[in-house]
Amino acid sequence: MKTRIGVISFEHMHALSYTKSLVSMDGVELVGIADTDEYRGANMAYRFGTKYFSDYKDLLALKPDGVIICTNNSLHCSVSIDALRSGCHVLVEKPFAINSKEAKAMLEEAEKSGKRIMNAFPMRFSPSVIEAKKAVDSGKIGDILCITGINHGKIPSGWFIDKNLSGGGGVMDHTVHLADLIRWFTGSEYSSVYCESGNLLHNKGIDDAGLVMAKMENGVFATIDCSWAHVKNYPIWPQVDMEIIGTKGTLEVKAFAQVNHVVEESKNAFEDIVWNKDGDEGLVAEFVDVVRTGKYPNASGLDGAKALEVAEAAYRSVKSHKNEKVIHIEEI
């Protein structure tokens, strides 16, 4: 019996990549695509040979095993809760929600329904990131002291630059990927955040540049440059890089360049490790496995909520110009 998955909205451009990965998998049936934009949704349904629904609740009525949700950020909570209540496992695009109150409601509904909810963190499934995590866990660079992260991209358009629909600009959009990876690599929760951001690059009335400085509960320091800094003709869309400094060496991770540089204390040379594989494929494969087995996911809803905590603290810091304590979802 095939695993039946639906896709709700192509409002976020990542939906196309996720759907391509989905239909390439053995034993998976794309049962339908729902989108409030009829032209976009019907075209995608035709492209992938499936049914189109203008109302996602009609798709949920088919009782799919799981759904992938790529609406604008403001709808993540309500659509996810409806899907969970209908008996679906859920993979929702990042950020997990637009605030921690909504994130908590989503997690509580997943617990109540007995279904799993994942957040779309494809960087966890990038081969370069996976190998970097293995190197850190093996002690190759010793204990982590600090991490410098960069997530740059071109400025998006449409609802992304409408705060009511997105929840925020570059700080919301580009903090969460690295906030998640840093938490994953260090195995520690965030303690405090200081952030400066502004509308500095594109004059669109929303924050497009930001620098987040964070301290982990285990003492590790981290920075995240979370900016829509690339000009429109920049040759690549995204950039996710990390430099991880440890007591025995340094690890440079370039997720989209598909190369890691490792410098060990005992060696006077770079060790380059190279791949050519997309993290979206691994993310979708993980979700299908979660749907089939009910296992606890890598890139869980809780992971998404924890990354959102950092973005929220960053925005509080921008307003106060002070170091802000990270308010954990368990405290809400």
* pLDDT digits 0-9 by tens, 183-226: 999 999 999 999 999 999 999 999 999 999 999 999 999 999 99
- The answer to whether 31 and 64 have CB atoms below 8 angstroms apart is yes
Homologous superfamily of the 123-277+310-331 domain (CATH): Dihydrodipicolinate Reductase; domain 2 (3.30.360.10)
DSSP letter for 37, please: S
Q: Output b/e per residue, 216-251; b: 16+ Cβ within 10 A.
A: beeebebbbbbbbbbeeeeeeeebbbbbbbbeebbb
Residue limits of CATH 3.30.360.10 in the chain? 123-277+310-331
SS3 of 98, please? coil
pLDDT band, residue 275 (cuts 50/70/90): very low
Determine the pLDDT at residue 276: 46
Of 5-19, 68-82, 237-251, the poorest mean pLDDT is in 237-251
Mean per-residue pLDDT, 17-46: 98
Mean per-residue pLDDT, 113-122: 98
Of 265-269, 298-302, 304-308, the poorest mean pLDDT is in 265-269
CA angle 236–174–240, rounded 5-degree value: 45
CA distance 283 to 125: 6
User: Under 8 Å CB-to-CB from 324, ≥6 apart: which residues?
Assistant: 192, 193, 194, 313, 314, 316, 317
Closest C-alpha among 37, 113, 53 to residue 80: 113
Q: Output b/e per residue, 6-28; b: 16+ Cβ within 10 A.
A: bbbbbbbebbbbbbebbbebeeb
List the beta bridge partners of residue 261. Answer: 252, 272
User: Under 8 Å CB-to-CB from 105, ≥6 apart: which residues?
Assistant: 77, 81
Sort strands 28-34 and 52-53 into parallel, antiparallel or unpaired.
parallel
pLDDT of 108 > 80? The answer is yes
pLDDT band, residue 83 (cuts 50/70/90): very high
Determine the pLDDT at residue 235: 65
List the beta bridge partners of residue 190. Answer: 216
User: What's the chain's length in residues?
Assistant: 332
Of 88-92, 144-148, 169-173, 228-232, the poorest mean pLDDT is in 228-232
Structural fold of domain 3-121+281-299: Rossmann fold (3.40.50)
- Whole-model pTM? 0.94
Average pLDDT of the residues of the chain: 93
pLDDT of 332 > 60? The answer is yes
CA distance 148 to 139: 19
Percent of the chain with pLDDT over 70: 92
